Amino acid sequence: MSTAGKVIKCKAAVAWEPSKPLSLEEIEVAPPKAHEVRLKMVSSGVCGTDNSVLHQKMITPFPVILGHEGLGVVESVGEGVTNVKPGDKVIPLFVPECGQCRGCNSPNSNVCVKLDFGSGEHAGLMYDGTSRFSCKGKLIHNFAGTSTFTEYTVVSDISIAKVDANAPVEACLIGCGFGTGYGAAINTAKVTKGSSCAVFGLGGVGFSAIAGCKDAGASQIIGVGSHKEKFPKAMAMGATECVNTKDLEKPIHEVICEMTNGGVDFAIECAGHIPTMMTALQSTYPCNGVAVLMGVASPKDTMPLHPGLLLTGRTLKGSVYGGRRFAQKKKSMSC
Ligand SMILES: NC(=O)c1ccc[n+]([C@@H]2O[C@H](COP(=O)([O-])OP(=O)(O)OC[C@H]3O[C@@H](n4cnc5c(N)ncnc54)[C@H](O)[C@@H]3O)[C@@H](O)[C@H]2O)c1
Ligand SMILES: [Zn+2]
Ligand SMILES: [Zn+2]
């Protein structure tokens, strides 16, 4: 029996309050309105950012259904949706692509003005200012226009990419972790053949950044982490060596500079800590090193940056979503 046009009751992991365990609840998911798509989720990953939101390191309204890297199948579409149809396998995109704004129309940006990172007028809501989720009579917010920790979700038609019908469950990781780390190396850092790289933070994003550095042809890739049990995975993803921050008797950046004849060409921070961000910058070669920050810091954090660190030619960049675009094939960035 078709569920199109009807409210669907299903299970979801709801975050009622910050820093409390998620609660498995029966929720109601309203049908998609115009230019919206309702998805039956196939799989979802857990990204460090979900944890950051839960613990208010990144602010977004509660109660909320977290999760932003998922794979789903289109259950029904609202009026005016032309890019996907019921039955299509898709990935929700937490960075939308409206195709109209300054960011969407710049070949040097992948960030759409409609990106919901928790602070805008419609934070945690659909673009009409309402929610499609409710539970026990209460409105439940979405996270970054995606919300994948649920059996059904509703996303805007500018926040969706069709994928191959045979895409495996692991393809959900393209929605954030894998594509974000890999893309940071390829699209943002623009790692070059034969270069030296250091990747700080050996989680899902860091491992994927290592894979990006390897595919870009880097000849030295140093994985930097504090848990040595993660080193074999880092090596399997392409690291040529790993440094345990717990074993060092001098500052990490000094060790990295000694290992690389003065500093790496590219450093990518995937831990989300201000000291690690500073270390990443200080680990780059002073004349032309590039440091890319991907980790999410809390709103109160600031970086104690001395301009002298940049004066001789270092570049400090940020990267969201690995600099990727999905829907607008006319743009030059790679997925
Ligand atoms: N910019 C983006 O688009 C984007 C997208 C996804 C995730 N993120 C952010 O990237 C970061 C990593 O995400 P993840 O999913 O890989 O998280 P994760 O928790 O899987 O991995 C983080 C890793 O960093 C390590 N770490 C913590 N402190 C460290 C330190 N001082 N030095 C070295 N390693 C340290 C942890 O042990 C862990 O292995 C988070 O801050 C997340 O919010 C950003
Ligand atoms: Zn846009
Ligand atoms: Zn993420």
Q: Give me the average pLDDT of each 10-residue run along the chain (335 residues).
A: 94 98 98 98 97 93 98 98 98 96 94 88 94 98 97 98 96 96 98 98 98 98 97 98 94 97 98 96 98 92 94 97 77 42
Residue 94 beta carbon below 6 angstroms from any ligand 1 atom:
no
Has residue 333 been placed in a domain? no
CB 324 within 8 A of CB 208: no
Closest residue by Cα to residue 175 from 311, 307, 50, 23:
50
1 CA to middle of ligand 3, Å? 35
Has residue 312 been placed in a domain? yes
Residue 270 beta carbon below 6 angstroms from any ligand 1 atom:
yes
Domain count of the fold of the chain: 2
Has residue 307 been placed in a domain? yes
> In this structure, are 36 and 159 located in the same domain?
yes
The last residue of one of the domains, among 175, 208, 241, is 175
The last residue of one of the domains, among 175, 203, 224, is 175
> In this structure, are 154 and 39 located in the same domain?
yes
pLDDT at 328 (0 to 100): 52
d(CA 265, CA 198): 8
Strands 196-200, 220-225: pairing kind: parallel
Has residue 2 been placed in a domain? no
Q: For residue 63, is the peptide bond before it cis, meaning its omega torsion is within 30 degrees of 0?
A: yes
The strand order across the sheet containing 152-156 reads 152-156, 36-44, 70-77, 89-92, 160-162
| Ligand 1 atom 19, closest CA | 48
Has residue 332 been placed in a domain? no
d(CA 255, CA 329): 42
Has residue 233 been placed in a domain? yes
Has residue 13 been placed in a domain? yes
pLDDT at 330 (0 to 100): 43
| Ligand 1 atom 31, closest CA | 276
Residue 205 beta carbon below 6 angstroms from any ligand 1 atom:
yes
CB 188 within 8 A of CB 317: yes
Question: Helix or strand or coil: residue 137?
Answer: coil
> In this structure, are 124 and 193 located in the same domain?
no
Q: Within 10 A of 80 (CB to CB), how many other CB atoms are there?
A: 10
* CB-based contacts of 257, cutoff 8 Å, min separation 6: 263, 283
d(CA 138, CA 298): 28
> In this structure, are 71 and 165 located in the same domain?
yes
- The overall average pLDDT reported for the chain is 95
Q: Which domain holds residue 134?
A: 8-175
Has residue 78 been placed in a domain? yes
